[in-house]
Structure 1
Amino acid sequence: MNTTFVTFADTTSQSGGAAEQDSVLLDAYSNTIVNVAKKVSPSVVQIKVSGRTYGTVSDRRNTLPPQRRSPGQEEQDSGTGSGFIISSDGYLITNNHVVAGAQRITVSLPDSRDFDATLVGRDPATDIAVLKIYADGLKAIRFADSKQVQVGQIAIALGNPYGFQYSLTAGVVSALGRTLRSESGRLIDDVIQTDASLNPGNSGGPLVNSNGDVIGVNTAVILPAQGICFAVSSNLTALVAGKLIMDGRVRRGYLGIAGQLINLTERIKQYNQLSARTGVMIVSVEADGIAGNGNLRPGDIIVGFNNDSVASVDDLHRLLTDDTIGRSVQLTVLRENRKQGVMVIPGELK
């Protein structure tokens, strides 16, 4: 009688090896998060506002759709949010909606020191604001190049949700190139989507990579969705913050018109050799002297801006940068259904 011995030694060895490898990977992930927390936490602050005032009734109304709210955006005269230090001399970044209308802004540091903050400037169009405090021993956090961010990479959010100071959540970058409607009505481009959990009070806190460098500013969540959160990209934030520090505001071009989206018929498109299906019809022209718009007429349909196609009001907002202020630009319009060029001089939006 032949006897066959069956052994599971090899299987057990492989299973043990796989478990050990998984443990090493999990430890590496945990160590990464721990190291980021140690590196970044000293730069994250809590922001408290009080005496909030609103210029008009519409200023008090939440202009974002009900399903999309900025974490911490509530109709109240006081509140809290988050921010992070970007220079050792006291400049820090937060969201515009955290500090808008506040009479007093207090910044609480991780070492329990509190300082009154000065509002350097805010930009509702990108929901970014810059504050300044006068304190010693500040540790600044660096910006990463958000163009190098990839879907699936680690994303770590730090802030003060519901008043719980210096909380951390981790996830991944879920998508890139999103757009988000700001309270001013303009679209924020190049928005990062992440599943790192955000809650009221996280607004203005940093979204960082595995090196602890900022890839975005936590701005909004979609309610009641789970794990759909948004951050303004670091490149856009750095650009806006620089202009706020230098000038106190972000300058944008202004045409002095009221426009609305209009569909173009296939006949008009083919006759004028247009690729876009829509344009911006001018409803009214404001002759206020700020913009050189005297050549525009109500009823004109804007379909081009210099060499760029215009299919919506958002396209016009994107193209009316500070570089266009006071300079002649050519709008391509349909007047009586025929394409022609019209020269205008954008003014500065106040």
Structure 2
Amino acid sequence: MVKFISNEEQEEQPFSVPFNDAQLLDAYSNAVIGASSRVSQAVVQIQVQKAKAAVRPQRGGAPSPGAGGGSGFIISSDGFIVTNSHVVNRATKIQIVLQDGREYPGRLVGEDPATDIAVVQINADNLTTTLFGDSDKLQVGQLAIAIGNPFGFQYSVTAGVVSALGRTLRSENGRLIDNVIQTDAALNPGNSGGPLVNSHGEVIGVNTAVILRAQGLCFAVGSNLAKYVVGKLILDGKVRRGFIGIAGQGVRLNPRLVQSLKLAAPSGILVQQVEKDGPAGLAKLLTGDLIVGFEEEVVPSIDTLHRLLSEDAIGKTARLKVLRNNQLLEFAITPAELH
């Protein structure tokens, strides 16, 4: 890189020797080596046996019905391990392989398909652990290091950067995962559930997905969301969420109606089906109603409604704002727990 400066600037600036490319590359390499070495002993390989119907065919390899696997990382010295829900979902057997070669049977503590997070425990003590970092403090462009077991090869490290923040990713049960991290650190089958770490070796995300046929589009669930879900799974075995008992889809509203009723958003949820004995049915919602608000929040889409129906909403009566026959109505509704 060449920097043009004036004679005056040359006289005023103290002489300094610029970093050469080798020094910069060494600094980068040392950062990756240091971060990966801090967490290496806490990264595990997860081998699972599943019902044949639950396993997708493997591309480019011999068929192995019932076999699957991924990665995980230890968060407590007594054997709690974080991984992806899709790695252990419907597993009939879970086997954990540590970096030193020791193997333990794993017990599924709980899973949350809505965020693709799961917790497994092994019967072991004095294990090396990882630490969660603060994903809210991430910046685009900072170093991101992915560690896992791609294609069953034990312990591989890839490095890249945080490419984007605040992405949304649809989980296997259809709900959106918010504040997902996008990275160009290479992920492959088997990396799922492994840690994404920063230059300090702190876990900033849980590697979860890669877009096939696209290079450099890999995603991780942010550490702050993962930490919250993990705590719930360890305490209760699940994450509680509310539901109101409808099926619907987001639709655009008539612009004149939006203007005349002074609605805050140009879209809402068209109710296509109502469970008779569900919260919406008991509140007298009808097929064809348009949901536009929940308490003081605007509801332009079904994903927004899912976010609002959190654990705090369960069992608490709320005001649901609905358009019916071009009139804005309010219904008292009490969300129930989703099972």
Same-fold status (TM-score > 0.5): yes
Q: Is the 8 A contact 2:279 2:334 kept in 1?
A: no
Q: Could you tell me how far apart the structure 2 residues matched to 1:278 and 1:76 are?
A: 45
What's 1:21 paired with? 20
Task: Report the 3-state secondary structure (helix = DSSP H, G, I; strand = E; otherwise coil) of the residue aligned with 2:34.
Answer: helix
Query: 2:30 matched to which residue of 1?
Result: 31
2 CA distance for matches of 1:182 and 1:51? 20
Q: 1:53 touches 1:103 (CA, 8 Å); kept in 2?
A: no
What residue number does 1:278 align with? 267
CA distance in 2, matches of 1:142, 1:76: 35
Question: Which runs of structure 2 are paired with 1:82-231 in the superposition (5 Å)?
Answer: 82-231=71-220
Q: Over residues 144-188 of structure 1, what are the superposed CA-to-partner deviations in whole Å (9 max), with x where a residue is unaligned? A: 110000000000000000111110000000000000010000000
Q: 1:129-149, CA deviations, whole angstroms, 9 ceiling, x for partnerless residues?
A: 000011133111000110000
Q: Do the aligned partners of residues 299 and 75 (structure 1) sit closer, same or farther apart at CA in structure 2, a change above 3 Å counting? A: farther
One-letter code of the match for 1:81? G
Kept after mapping to 2: 8 A contact 1:290/1:348: no
What is the alpha-carbon distance in structure 2 between the residues aligned to residue 235 and residue 211 of structure 1? 17
Residues 75/286 of structure 1: CA separation in 2 closer, same or farther (3 Å cut): farther
Preserved CA contact (<8 Å) 1:82 1:160: yes
CA distance in 1, matches of 2:122, 2:80: 7
1:298-320 deviation digits (Å, cap 9, x = unpaired) = 22110001111001110111110
**Pairing 1:287-302 to 2, within 5 Å after superposition:** 287-289=276-278, 293-302=282-291
Secondary structure at 2:20 match in 1 = helix
Q: 2:308 matched to which residue of 1?
A: 319
Q: What is the percentage of aligned positions where both structures have the same residue?
A: 58
Give deviations 1:98-152, integer Å, cap 9, x for gaps: 0111100000000100000000000111110000011133111000110000000
Which residue of structure 1 aligns with residue 11 of structure 2? none
How many Å separate the matches in 2 of 1:38 and 1:221? 25
Contact kept, 8 Å, 1:159 with 1:168, in 2: the verdict is yes
Q: CA deviation at 1:201?
A: 0.4
TM-score (norm 2): 0.90
The structural deviation recorded for 1:260 is: 2.0
CA gap 1:303/1:76 in 2 versus in 1, 3 angstroms: farther
Q: 2:43 matched to which residue of 1?
A: 44
In structure 2, give the amino acid aligned to 1:30: S
1:346 aligns with 2:335: yes
Q: Give, in angstroms, the shift of residue 293 of structure 1.
A: 3.5
Runs of 4+ in 1 over 6 A off after TM superposition: 59-62
Gaps of 5+ in 1: 1-15, 63-73
1:320-342 Cα shifts (integer Å, max 9, x gaps): 00101000011111111111211
**Contact in 2 for aligned 1:287/1:294 (Cα 8 Å):** no
Contact kept in structure 2, 1:285 and 1:293, CA below 8 Å: no
Tell me, yes or no, if the aligned pair for 2:161 and 2:185 is still in contact at 8 Å: yes
Task: Return closer, same or farther for 1:291/1:301 CA change in 2, 3 Å cut-off.
Answer: closer
Is the 1:130–1:241 contact (alpha carbons within 8 Å) kept by the matching residues of 2? yes
Q: Counterparts of 2:65 and 2:318 in 1: how far apart (Å)?
A: 43
Q: Give 3-state SS (helix, strand or coil) of 1:103's partner.
A: strand
Does the 8 A contact of 2:196 with 2:207 survive in 1? Answer: yes
* CA separation of 1:186 and 1:151: change in aligned 2, threshold 3 A: same
- The alpha carbon displacement at 1:75 in A equals 9.1
Whole-Å Cα distance in 1 between the matches of residues 283 and 214 of structure 2?
48
Give the distance between the partners of 1:261 and 1:33, measured in 2 at CA: 44
Task: Give CA deviations for 1:64-119 in whole Å, capped at 9, x if unaligned.
Answer: xxxxxxxxxx9941112000001111101000110111100000000100000000
- Contact kept? 1:254, 1:291, Cα under 8 Å: no
Distance in 1 (CA, whole Å) between partners of 2:26 and 2:52 is 49
Tell me how far apart the structure 2 counterparts of residues 158 and 302 of structure 1 sit (CA, whole Å). Answer: 43
2:55–2:66 Cα contact (<8 Å) kept:
no
CA RMSD of aligned residues (A): 2.0
- CA offsets per residue over residues 208-237 of structure 1, 9 Å max, x none? 000000000000011111111000000000
Equivalent pairs counted in the alignment come to: 320
| AA of the residue aligned to 2:22 | S
Q: Which runs of 5+ in 2 are unaligned?
A: 1-15, 58-62
3-state SS of the aligned residue for 2:108? strand
**2: distance between equivalents of 1:337 and 1:238?**
44
**Change in 2 beyond 3 A, CA 1:282/1:50:** same
TM-score when normalising by structure 1 = 0.87
